[in-house]
Structure 1
Amino acid sequence: MTASVVQTGLTAAADLPQTLIAALVRNATVYRDRIAFRERRYGIWQEQTWTEVLDEVLAIAAGLESLGLSAGSAMTVIGDNRPRLYYAMLAANMLRAFPSPAFPDIPLEELIAATRHGNAMIAIGEDQEQVDKLLELRAATGRAATILYDDERGFDTYAVEGLMSIETLVGRGRERLAREPGLRDRLIGAARPDDVTVLLHSSGTTGLPKGIPLLHRNVTQGVANAARSGYFHPHEELYAYLPTAWVGDFVFTLGAGLMMAATINVPERQETVLRDLREVSPTFYLAAPRAWDQMLTRVQVGMKNSTPFKRWLFDTIMPRAIELERKRLAGGTPTLSERVVDAIGNLLVYAPLRDYLGLARAERAFTGGEALGEDTFLFFRALGIKLKQFYGQTETCALTAAQTEGHVKLHTVGRPIEGAEIRIDDSGEILVRSPSVIAGYFDDPEATAKAIVDGWLHTGDAGRIDEDGDLIVLGRVSEVVRTAAGERYIPNFIENRLKFSPYIRNVAVIGAGRDLLTAIVCIDFDAVGHWAEERALSYTSYAELSQRPEVQGLVAEVVRHVNKTQPEALRVRRFVNLHKDFDADDGEITRTRKLRRNMIETTYAPLIDALYGGAVETVYEAAITYENGERGVIRRTLRIGEV
């Protein structure tokens, strides 16, 4: 346990809150006037203390109870990060009910599937757009009878039964609290450690998404163990920008925020996330690998548009900084001259860039969910942002293993956090046992029996543990396939290494049961577009840019680079640049950007046939649906590249 944690008692065993509601009450009692939530609204940061937050959560809970929300029931929540959406989630917990958040860009069909658990007759939408989606859900399923909303703009003309603003609900709740003296204490003391605190869902890559109920004790004990391992510190500055339906937001933002008495900063809207990040300058920052890649691209593009002196300084200092960081990670000691150059680089380059990115105070920065490119990883660590990788699933509250400073390796995800056990079974699958592991899936005993055996979660991931006890994740066990010659490989492992390039946004590697490996590549439009503009290459669309011979050559170089790290039999030999990116609305990827491999292989079967047929180009016919519902076909001539 770190000294700072011991001093504050935030995670001491004697006073460890057993529920998120207990953590909220403790914060309102012990840290009354500390800022709990800070939200940028109309360009101004609005602040609420822990005392004020508890009072508002109580008012929402009293209002929800009067609307019929009861123990064991779900409450649908859909929208971007807003304090009152978080408060409503906690208010549901006060009633021993639980929120079930959905991704804000989810289409109706997926929303129906994601809300089938828990009889959610009350739903909360952030704004008019999300309420319209909930009204469509009601028309299709009869749920939810009551729909609440936070942003009141646009509802003047709505004459819909069961529609109410959260502001009105808060008013009614306060009236109940005023006239019922015992209500406050009853609401504060109702939640139990074994109650469901949130119902999340799997990505649904192989069928309907499974309901994943996290219990209060899963989150509270998981965060406490992570804090004892040094991953969370008391009174962090957190940044609430991740999707509310993702485990990373609920655990790392709301759960850790409550347990560590942090300040949770909420950006004005998703379009202002990067701008507001700079003003917040969080002490803890979590981002997916793609976000770190995009941040690196932003820096590189910004430097190319900078002054000649700044470009020279960046191009001179950063390669040295990256090599020095590589040396440090390999256990080397910097020479005196390297330390001098590093100090100058920090003054002139690193510190200004950290400030520009909004990460000047990021003492702990993490990435997870998939592999992060070596170049990106080294770049940010060279800047002085001590980026680390972690590993976990929704079923483990995302708290399984993580790297610690001084034990960072490029190709591992670190060691188990305190309280977590990891072992590899005979098939190579990663098994996890921890207080943060769920008890089972929601109303799905069959899936539970398959996934949790004798207290061990079968993660479905393939991996191994190296000689130092660090976990190496190879990919999904279910994705292990063989070529026609019997060579075993995991497509995702190769795909991730191809996506390490800033020029490739998505890729599907094909080769199961075939003589060689091929790939369907989706270029990164922004990065490749900038690359093309630097070379005076004209284009009018994604499709045209992707088919330029120069871009095909660029992608071929990326494939060659990755091939060098692969066995001869597992090298990608042919590829095609797709005319568009894979799209969740087309069913090609999930909302968390995971490939739906079966859908891709079915949709692009003619294209795959051309890859293996020896053609240099092929005409691909893409079915499209127009806004008026009519269907049509677009024909694209796609070039096929050889490597």
Structure 2
Amino acid sequence: MRLLDIPRLVEPLVSGGLADSVFTTAVEDPLRVQFSVPGPGGEWSEVTTADFCRQVTAVARGFTADGVRPGDPVIVMSRTRYEWTLVAYALWTVGAVVVPVYPTSSGEQVRWILQDTGAVGVVVENEHNAMTVAAAYGTRTDLTRLWELDAGAIASLVSAGAAVDEAAVHRLRSAVRPQDTALICYTSGTTGRPKGCVITHRNLASETDTLLAGWGVLLAPAGEQPRILAFLPLAHCYGLMVVVSAVRGGINLAHQPNLSPDSLLPALEAFRPTFLYAVPYIFERIFGKARINAQQTGHSALFERAVRVAVRYATRVQERAAGTGSGPGPRLRFQHRLYDRLVYAKVRGVLGGLVRNAVSGGSPLARELGLFFAGCGINVYDGYGLTETTAAVTAQPVGAVRHGTVGRPLPGNAVSIADDGEIWVAGDVVFAGYLNDPKANAESLRDGWYATGDLGHLDPDGYLVITGRKKDIIITSGGKSLSPQTLEEQLRAHPLISGCIVVGDNRPYVTALITLDPDALASWQILKGRPPSEPAQLLEDDELRGHIQRAVSRANSRVSRAESVRAFRILPDQFGADPRLMTPSLKLRRSAVITAYAREIEELYAAR
């Protein structure tokens, strides 16, 4: 199969913009809880739809008083917090354009986005962000609108807007059209300068309304209001899609600004969401933490048996759903019930205990990991999308998850596979184009189709399988072409390995740079009865290298001899220790890693 087109499930937005749903819901269901906001003592205070509508109106009046006009780009540079969402909806209410920027962005990146968008103002979270913006402006003095959230920006906007007639705000809102720009969302920039993706109100409404109509049954048990914790960066289109879905779907949404497991996991346990939107990194960390806890409590063998049973059980269930098997047998069902009490319930407890379904996006989730969570009672719906497709363009069908794929096209969209294996997409969620970049538009947009740059294929049932990225294809000096994704996924599945980059372009054979998980490494040392030591002290440890060599050998068994890793180097530090090597959405910048470790790569080849 080379083309699959799925009919629409919902009609595209025909009038108005994203902010309209705030005002409609406030009239129809004013007491519905829309947000949970953490208080100083850790308690949650509730914000109803009517409360949110009043706050959006008040802040929108403030932006109007400060001179923001329809079509004006305004940068929002903050971590994931309630005020981010409030500001975005206030700007959409007056017809302005939201330009999300990662709070970790450098002055150079901010300078480029200011120049590219012509932003009339910047909303920052704190003084550090304000200083970054000031550095980006340099000696220019035309930045007259800078609002700092931690310095009382919301209160200042509300005060400034008190003199603005509320009717004026509603007139501005009524003038917004579906085809108007809602976002200029910049790509993560894994290669080259990030490009501004122009996303319309219709794009975002089509994305979120389709997901709510087709997948809304997964968000919570029937009759219960869904609860979602938003922790993904809102400068990433995926994270912003979660927020817009919650507002349009009447979901109780909480915000968590810190993505580190030490902060995120307690927040999940406290808020107890009914559904989870995450990236593979989060699922990998949860699994790794469970494995380490089992090792430290002397239950390592029990946990590993539970993992195998979970994967077998979920595989049998998937085969039955696909009509290729009869499902789990009596013995497997008994083992699954036993381990559910001993292991799987604890895994669910890490997420608060109520999550039964989740979405993984940003990059493909490893098949074995998806099967493990399914066996634990958490069905992970892996999807595929890009900033240019307003987040997801494919998703696993409800009740028909096929692990190892990223599902089928969302209704209203189509997927086509080009002759060279590149994935092309078309439909309601495809963006309006790159800002100020006609060359990039001409290269990637043709007759309504967008060339993604990713490689893959459609299986006989229309499920999309991602096999790599076109720019990441390695061509050895012998002319062999290979995608590094399969090897890297296999290696990262090892308990001790946290990161991996496969190298081999214009080289005689393939090598790999590997990083070790500090927590897993500490646990391994305890199990071996060794005193704690830093990863750098263990790089040449024969027993440790033997473990990694066996992992490399297992990964090599999945590929041909020409594609196999012939040598590897264990690095002393995590890739994430250097922010230049990872995007804010936790993807490795491959070219940056290869440049940063050029000497180590040369030594790998020289040694052979």
* TM-score > 0.5 by shorter chain: yes
Does the C-alpha gap of structure 1 residues 107 and 455 become closer, same or farther in structure 2, counting only changes over 3 Å? same
1:326-337 matches, within 5 Å, as 326-331=315-320, 332=325, 333-337=327-331
Structure 2 counterpart of 1:106 = 105
Shift of 1:323: 1.8
1:82 paired residue number: 81
User: Which residue does the alignment assign to 1:176?
Assistant: 163
Distance in 1, matches of 2:166 and 2:592, equals: 57
2:190 alignment partner in structure 1? 205
**1:598-641 deviation per Cα after TM superposition (whole angstroms, max 9, x unaligned):** 333333333222211226xxxxxxxxxxxxxxxxxxxxxxxxxx
Give the structure 1 partner of residue 145 of structure 2: 146
Decide which of 324, 328, 333 is 1:339's aligned counterpart. 333
Identity of aligned residues (%): 28
For 1:147 and 1:94, the matched residues in 2 are separated by: 19
Counterpart in the other structure of 1:160:
none
SS in 1 for 2:276: strand
1:638 is matched with none
Name the SS for the 1:421 alignment partner. Answer: strand
Question: Is 2:271 the partner of 1:277?
Answer: no
Shift of 1:405: 4.3
Offset at residue 552 of structure 1 (A): 2.1
TM-fit CA distance, 1:77: 1.3
Stretches of structure 2 lacking an aligned partner (at least 5 in a row): 1-8, 220-224
**Alpha carbons 1:131, 1:149 under 8 Å: kept:** yes
| Counterpart in the other structure of 2:3 | none
Code of the residue aligned with 2:575 in structure 1: it is: F
C-alpha displacement of 1:566: 0.7
Q: Which residue of 1 aligns with 2:128?
A: 129
- What are the superposed Cα offsets for residues 16-48 of structure 1, whole Å, 9 maximum, x if unpaired? 875211111121111211011111121121211
Equivalence map 1:399-438=2 (5 Å): 399-438=392-431
Q: Distance in 2 between matches of 1:521 and 1:14?
A: 46
Aligned to 1:494: 487
30-39 or 506-515: bigger deviation: 506-515
Change (3 A) 1:369 1:230: same
- Listed as ranges, the matches of 1:372-383 within 5 Å are 372-383=365-376
Q: Give 1:618's aligned residue.
A: none
CA drift at 1:352: 4.0
Q: Alignment RMSD, CA only?
A: 2.5
Higher relative contact order (CA 8 A, sep 6+): 2
Residues 150-185 of structure 1: per-residue CA shift (max 9 Å, x gap)? 224xxxxxxxxxxx6221211222x125xx252242
339 and 585 in structure 1: CA distance in 2 versus 1, 3 angstrom threshold:
closer
8 A contact 1:226–1:399 mirrored in 2: no
Alignment partner of 1:522 is 2:512: no
Aligned-residue offset at 1:233: 6.0
For 1:23, the equivalent position in structure 2 comes to 21
SS of 1:380 mapped into structure 2: helix
Q: Could you tell me the TM-score, scaled by structure 2's length?
A: 0.90
Question: Are residues 607 and 112 of structure 1, via their aligned partners in 2, closer, same or farther at CA, if it must alter by over 3 Å?
Answer: same
Residue 560 of structure 1: which of 544, 553, 559 is its match?
A: 553
The aligned counterpart of 1:238 is: 228
* 2:245 pairs with 1:251: no
Contact 1:210 1:442 in 2 (8 A): yes
**Alpha-carbon displacement from aligned partner over 1:278-311 (angstroms, at most 9, x marks no partner):** 12222221111111110111112223344x6x77
TM-score, normalization by structure 1:
0.85
C-alpha contact (below 8 Å) 2:10/2:213 kept by paired residues? no
Is 1:195 equivalent to 2:183 in the alignment?
A: no
For the residues of structure 1 that align with 2:506 and 2:86, how far apart are their CA atoms? 52
Task: Give deviations 1:579-611, integer Å, cap 9, x for gaps.
Answer: 222247563333333333333333333322221
Could you tell me how far apart the structure 2 residues matched to 1:312 and 1:552 are? 22
When residues 143 and 240 of structure 1 are mapped into structure 2, their CA distance, relative to the original with a 3 A threshold, is farther
Contact 1:61/1:187 (8 A) holds in 2: no
* CA pair 200-328 structure 1, distance change in 2 beyond 3 A: same
Q: How many residues align?
A: 587
Other-structure match for 1:60: 59
Q: Secondary structure at the match of 2:245?
A: helix
- SS of equivalent to 2:478: coil
Counterpart selection for 1:573 from 566, 585, 604 = 566
1:591 alignment counterpart: 584
Which deviations, in whole Å up to 9, do the C-alpha atoms of 1:29-76 show, x marking residues without a partner?
112110111111211212111111111111111111111212222211
Q: Which residue of 2 aligns with 1:639?
A: none
Which ranges of structure 1 fall in alignment gaps of 5 or more residues? 1-10, 153-163, 616-643
Matched, 1:350 2:344: yes
Q: How far apart are the structure 2 equivalents of 1:339 and 1:15?
A: 47
Q: Tell me, yes or no, if the aligned pair for 1:21 and 1:191 is still in contact at 8 Å.
A: no
Instruction: Tell me, yes or no, if the aligned pair for 1:228 and 1:418 is still in contact at 8 Å.
Output: no
Q: Which residue of 2 aligns with 1:320?
A: 309
State the shift of 1:138 in Å.
Answer: 3.6
